[in-house]
Amino acid sequence: MKSLRRMFSFVKPYRVQAIIAMILLLGMVGADLLVPRLTQRIIDRGIAAHDMHVIATTALIMVGVALLSALFSIGNTILSVRVGQGFAADVRSSIVHKVQTFSFGNLDRLRTGKLLVRTTSDVNMVQSIVAMSLRILTRAPAWIVGSIVMLVITSKRLSLVMMGFLPLIAILILLFMRKAQPMFLSVQRALDRLNGVLQENLAGMRLIKAFVRVAHEKERFSEANTELMLKNIRVMQLMALLIPTMLLTINLGVVAAVWFGGVSVINKSLTVGQLVASINYMNFALFPILMLAGMIGPLSAADASSARILEVLDSEADVKEKSNARPLENVTGRVEFDDVSFSYSRDGQDSVLKGISFVAEPGETVAILGATGSGKSSLIHLIPRFYDVSAGAVRIDGIDVREVTLTSLRAHIGLALQEAVLFGGTIRDNICYGRPQASDAEMIAAATAAQAHAFIASLPDGYDTRVGERGVTLSGGEKQRIAIARALLVRPKILILDDSTSAVDVETEALLQDALDALIARSKNVATRFIVAQRISTVLLADKIIVLDRGEIAAIGTHKELLATSPIYQEIYRSQLGNGGDRDAQR
């Protein structure tokens, strides 16, 4: 339970409420423990002595004790819920804040489905235990200890009977806990897999239907669902064995107490009231043990969930900011790759980029061309430090990107990816995402340059049109143009377009390139442009074209230079444009 104990550090901000809740709980337990003694008083001093005054006054006291216990219980429950919900909110915030510090490498390992389970299901599991710890998990031990003390006071002989059963019960609980904990961990892992499959199904539903893979996806979900069901059944079978075993042990203890107590009453060494009170105290002591046994499952599950939450919170970001990192200021946009190698694996094996060296001067347009898997996206992801190089250095204006603060570095970079991610809200919200304070004129200028203004203006609500979940109401090309407008609006010194026009038709792409050229010509904001492209028509007019092949630079130069010297570039050119001319000639 080490992981679960660590999670209780999140209760510290609510310790005052937690302490008051426990005080109220102890008051409730104290009130409950008075009832058997009052019952003994009614039997021995009221009923046996035929004294109605004792019966009446004791009954009134019992009513008062019951009301007091109810008030304590209400107060304890309210505070426990507040502590539990505050705890859960703080843990969720900590997870989200931690994830925001992660690099792309961390996110590659901790996928979306796993993070969602940790932030929701796992947090809820631990939160329920935190709330229960201020109620059942504290009340039960207090009941046990208080009942034993009161039982010893009431009848030492019967207390010895109960003491004989406690070691047996403790051994049973420990055995079940050792068995249950790994089983609950396997349940959480199965839930991870189920959530991952479900997320993929929901996100890719249109694709699933388009490729007639409904049956295949049903089978995938069925396998994950069945695995979770079977693991849950195993856990429930264990719990089904535990509770009756504990109940049998407790009932045997009560039977033994009744037998010994009955003999003692007959021998007049014990009164009837003492026997009734002693049996009540035994129940108060033994049935909380049953309650605790029933908590083995939730405790084991919460410990497993705690371990998974701590896996996120204890993760160190692959990309870290140095303690003496300085802001990147007065950027001109010169980008240098100096003998850069990069691998996604932590040991540096299986490099996807090897010995990359080139310089992009301020104002240049640098195109990255190559086959799928050649390392194009990996290369441009090193500029904003989404990943760190394995060897060599990436420099902006001669400064290693590892020497500057991440915020200042990325503030000078505009990025539009092939998969345009749009957030819930309006088109305006999405375009202004990087600069919420931008004016309407600036927003429209960025949208116009991205060839998005015309289609946005034709929508019923214009820029206030809601895009739907992940931009589902827009076409792929429309989403890409909005993403480009978003990148342009931040007025970056370095603009990265990672195959961001793949869903745009050739004519619109040509207009977009012209608009970007004009924007650069008349503006001092956008200085250097990196374009990752599959279509060679996108890169014909670039100042510098870098051809990647299996993670290495195969050729570098202008379109005319590469057409004369690079066999790979010639092959790409012929396969896409044949004998056609360049973009200027085509227009």
pLDDT digit string, tens, across residues 346-394? 766 778 999 999 999 998 889 998 888 888 889 999 999 999 999 999 9
Find the CATH number of the domain harbouring 209: 1.20.1560.10
Is residue 91 within 8 Å of 7, Cβ to Cβ?
yes
Neighbours of 152 (CB within 10 A): 16
Q: Name the phi and psi angles at 199, rounded to 5.
A: -60, -45
Neighbours of 546 (CB within 10 A): 25
Q: Is residue 362 domain-resident? A: no
Neighbours of 325 (CB within 10 A): 16
pLDDT tens digit sequence for 44-74: 888 888 889 888 999 999 999 999 999 999 9
Query: Tokens 């890409």 map to which residue?
Result: 480
- The reported pLDDT for the residue numbered 504 is 66
Is residue 418 within 8 Å of 500, Cβ to Cβ?
yes
The number of folded domains in the chain is 1
Q: CB-based contacts of 231: which residues, under 8 Å, 6+ apart?
A: 183, 186, 187, 190
Mean pLDDT in order along the chain per 10 residues (587 residues): 87 93 91 89 86 90 93 92 92 90 78 78 88 83 86 82 76 78 78 79 77 86 91 83 78 81 83 86 78 75 85 86 90 93 80 93 90 87 92 94 92 85 88 91 90 89 82 79 89 86 67 68 69 79 89 92 90 74 42
Is residue 390 within 8 Å of 342, Cβ to Cβ?
yes
Q: How many helices (H) and strands (E) does the chain have?
A: 22, 10
Question: Sheet containing 494-498: which strands, arranged edge to edge?
Answer: 413-416, 494-498, 528-533, 365-370, 544-549, 552-557
Q: CB-based contacts of 254: which residues, under 8 Å, 6+ apart?
A: 279, 282, 283, 286
Is residue 467 within 8 Å of 425, Cβ to Cβ?
yes
pTM above 0.85, yes or no: no
Neighbouring-strand partners of residue 544? 366
Q: Determine the 3-state secondary structure of 526 from DSSP.
A: coil
Full DSSP string of 317-370: PSS---TT-B---S----EEEEEEEE-SSTT--S-SEEEEEEEE-TT-EEEEEE
Is residue 317 within 8 Å of 106, Cβ to Cβ?
yes
Rounded Cα gap, residues 187 and 300, in angstroms = 11
Q: Is residue 187 domain-resident? A: yes
Torsion-angle region of residue 15: left (phi > 0), alpha (psi -120 to 50) or beta? Answer: alpha
Q: Is residue 307 domain-resident? A: yes
Rounded Cα gap, residues 576 and 587, in angstroms = 17
Q: CB-based contacts of 214: which residues, under 8 Å, 6+ apart?
A: 208
Neighbours of 520 (CB within 10 A): 19
Written as six digits, the tokens of 340 are 């850069």
Closest CA relative to residue 299, chosen from 166, 175, 128, 120: 128
- DSSP label of 47: I
Show the domain range for 29: 2-313
- The reported pLDDT for the residue numbered 522 is 55
> For the chain, how many residues are written?
587
H-helix or E-strand spanning residue 34: helix 15-41
Q: Is residue 228 domain-resident? A: yes
Q: Is residue 271 domain-resident? A: yes
